Amino acid sequence: MSYIKKNGEAIGIPLLITGCIALFVAFILTFMDVEVLFLVGLALALWSVSLGLTAVGTAHKADERHTQLLGRIDKSIALLPLMFNEDILSPSGGLIAKERASEQSKEVAQQRLNEDTKRVGYVRGETYQTAGGEWAIHWGGTYPL
């Protein structure tokens, strides 16, 4: 069954084409006074099977895509409170969002300090965490400006 789910479209489309060819041949044979009831029945059967297989294959692909999208949403759920300005869906989600924002803020501050150090050739400050949980650079102090 798994093979049919994964390859339903690949199997169904050739069967649909074969059914169309059988119906076309049946149409031509009607002009030659030949009984074509069996051929018409075969064409309709091929169409039914091919449409069923195509539907199963399409549904399987849609289910895989749906699962991927839900996985991406699940990984990004921590950013929702930031997007809705602290309109938090859950307390744990808010904590995770604040933690990630703090990590990003620390990385940005450290990157600015590293760029300044490269530019002037020596360290002129240090990173520190503000009362709001963000990170900033304290210039001077034990370091010469």
**Tokens representing residue 57 in the block:** 């294959």
0.75 exceeded by the pTM? no
Distance between CA atoms of residues 95 and 67, nearest Å? 26
Q: What percent of the chain has pLDDT over 70?
A: 76
Angle at 120 between CA 113 and CA 101, to 5 degrees: 10
User: What pLDDT digit, counting tens, does each position of 64-73 carry?
Assistant: 889 898 888 7
Q: What are the sequence ranges of the domains in the chain?
A: 2-80
